[in-house]
Structure 1
Amino acid sequence: MKQWYEELFENYAIKYDQEGFTHGTIGECDFIEGEINYEKNTRILDIGCGTGRHSIELGKRGYEIVGIDLSESVLQRAKEKAIAENLSLEFHRYDARKLPFVDEFDLAIMMCEGGFSLMETDAMNFQILASAAKALKKDGLFIFTALSALYPLYHSVQDLMNDNINSGNTEEHSFDLITFRESSTFNIEDDLGNKKTINCNERYYVPSEITWLLQTLQFKKIDIFGSKLGAFSRNDILSPDDYEMLVIAQK
């Protein structure tokens, strides 16, 4: 049985590139470049690369990139876009929990969750972090975004709970205070015109959880900031108004 994220991205590459959250790529890559001091010898792993928007932009700037994703559909579009830009980039279909790389990369990026937060269990999400850590060289850098539990805890949990109690239906939109998981149902039309109903389940994290998980994986320096679309900044202190957090960790 396919998981919701596999079903969503089965034929959703063109539509994905039209999503609003994909429009911050250039600013996000500007930030990434600054974090590696514009060192062109940096070898980068793009986990959950999707249609390759960060990989391609960084490739255009002269970096060596390997992009991985679980979806054949988005990988095919990534390859087509790279060819159109006359770029020779590597894109592979791998499960982010079971990457074959060991001590190979100077930087790993995982934008827009990139698989993390989407898995069915906390253990599976942790496997993604562990796999990324294994792929990095000593002193390697890991930059990723994660859903911030501060947002629903501060803004909407009570409203969600009241809605669920009144409707008697927790399938449309609910947030579990025990597991920090949001369940929602939404309808899409894929690139082939097929209409689908997706039952989504995502895990939100508080900063202390992320810090502890990364420390468990021997990351020595961990910084967490607010995450603004296309405008990552170390000056952006994480607040309850940030839907995502930006994590920068060094081994």
Structure 2
Amino acid sequence: MKQWYQELFSNYAEKYESESFVQGTQGEVDFIEREIIEREIDYNKKIKILDIGCGTGRHAIELATRGYSVTGVDLSEAMLKKARENALNKGLKIDFIKADARNLPFEKEFDLTIMICEGAFPLMETDEMNFEILKNATKALKPGGKLIFTTLNGLYPLFHSVKDFINSSSTTQTNNDNTFNLMTFRDQYQLEVEDDNDQKLVLDCNERYYVPSEIKWLLQSLNFTKIDILACKLGEFSRNSPLTTEDYEMLVIAEL
């Protein structure tokens, strides 16, 4: 049985690229590049980057355009097909690989791993599966490597309605119910959306929200020594944006 994210992304690549939440790519990559420059004593763009949950390749392609070596992985062949087309149209050669983020084939190969816009984490149906994604993202890193990812901010639903946020911020998605569970920090709801063939889908979604202390503990258990958790602002990632209850997502930067 397919999970909701598998069903959604099996035929959603075209509409995905028109969503409001994917329009901040350049500013987000500006931030990622600043983080690369900060860690590189001899900055020469020779580092290797892994993009987990790369989708249609927007971050991977922008990084490759700037001269970086990037590998993109995703569970959806349809999204990867679009990513390959996008890269080809820009004359770029990028390895886009179909793989499950819970079981990646990489070990100590990359200087930087990114998971942006809920790329795989935290969409899994159990906390254990989400943790497997973090473990695999970490395993792929070389000693001293860096992990940058965004995830849902558990502080937000304590003060706001997730339903109202989703309904106000997207033109194609509707959350008809608000079922955020304070015991599990999971939001289980029905999502109505049209795929690339304009077929209506009704999906039973299950997303995990994390509070900053949980993320810090999980990363410390994976031997990250420096962990920064900030506000995630579309297209405007910044170390000068402290996380608040008004931020739907958080930006995490961790170093081994």
Place the TM-score, normalised by the shorter chain, in its bin. Answer: over 0.9
Q: In structure 1, what is the Cα distance between the partners aligned to 2:44 and 2:228?
A: 21
**Which residue of structure 2 lines up, in the alignment, with residue 202 of structure 1?**
207
Segments of structure 2 that go 5 or more residues without pairing to the other structure are 38-42, 165-175
Q: Is 1:27 aligned to 2:32, yes or no?
A: no
TM norm structure 1? 0.93
Report the counterpart of residue 145 of structure 1 in structure 2: 150
Task: Work out whether 1:42 is the aligned partner of 2:47.
Answer: yes
Alignment-derived partner of residue 236 in structure 2: 231
Partner of 1:133: 138
Aligned to 1:168: none
Q: 2: CA distance between counterparts of 1:106 and 1:206?
A: 27
2:73 corresponds, among 68, 71, 87, to 68
Match of residue 96, structure 2, among 73, 91, 98 = 91
**What is the one-letter code of the residue matched to 1:71?**
S
Q: Which residue of 1 aligns with 2:10?
A: 10
Structure 1: unaligned runs, 5 residues or longer: 160-170
Equivalent runs, 1:88-127 vs 2, <5 Å:
88-127=93-132
User: Taking structure 2 as the reference length, what is the TM-score of the superposition?
Assistant: 0.91
TM-superposed CA distance for 1:39, in Å, is: 4.2
Question: In the TM superposition, what is the alpha-carbon distance from 1:199 to its structure 2 partner?
Answer: 1.2
Amino acid of the residue matched to residue 31 of structure 2? Answer: F
Paired amino acid for 1:117: P
Runs of 4+ residues over 4 Å off in structure 1: none
Amino acid at match of 1:91: F
Aligned pairs for 1:179-218 within 5 A = 179-218=184-223
Which whole-Å CA distance do the structure 2 matches of 1:236 and 1:34 have between them? 15
In structure 2, how many angstroms separate the alpha carbons of the residues matched to 1:52 and 1:39?
23
Structure 1 residue 187, shift from structure 2 partner: 1.3
Q: Which amino acid aligns with 2:81?
A: Q
Counterpart CA distance in 1 for 2:19 and 2:106 is 31
Match in the other structure for 1:166: none
CA distance in 2, matches of 1:95, 1:186: 23
Q: Deviations over 1:209-244 (max 9, x none)?
A: 000000001111101000100000000000000000
Question: CA separation in 1, counterparts of 2:248 and 2:200?
Answer: 28
Contact 2:179 2:189 in 1 (8 A): yes
Match of 1:163 in 2: none
Indicate if the aligned counterparts of 2:146 and 2:253 stay in contact, CA closer than 8 A: yes
Q: In the alignment, residue 72 of structure 1 is paired with which amino acid?
A: E
State the Cα distance separating 1:125 from its structure 2 match: 0.2
Q: CA deviation at 1:173?
A: 2.4
Question: What is the percentage of aligned positions where both structures have the same residue?
Answer: 61
Q: Aligned-pair RMSD on alpha carbons? A: 1.4
What aligned pairs does 1:161-176 form with structure 2 within 5 A after superposition?
172-176=177-181
| Counterpart residue identity of residue 129, structure 1 | L
Cα pair 1:225 1:238 within 8 Å, conserved: yes
* 8 A contact 1:150–1:239 mirrored in 2: yes
The separation in 1 between residues aligned to 2:80 and 2:93, in whole angstroms, is 14
| Residue correspondences, number | 240
Secondary structure of residue in 2 paired with 1:98: coil
Rounded Cα–Cα distance in structure 1 between residues aligned with 2:237 and 2:91: 28
* Contact 1:101-1:135 at 8 Å conserved across structures: yes
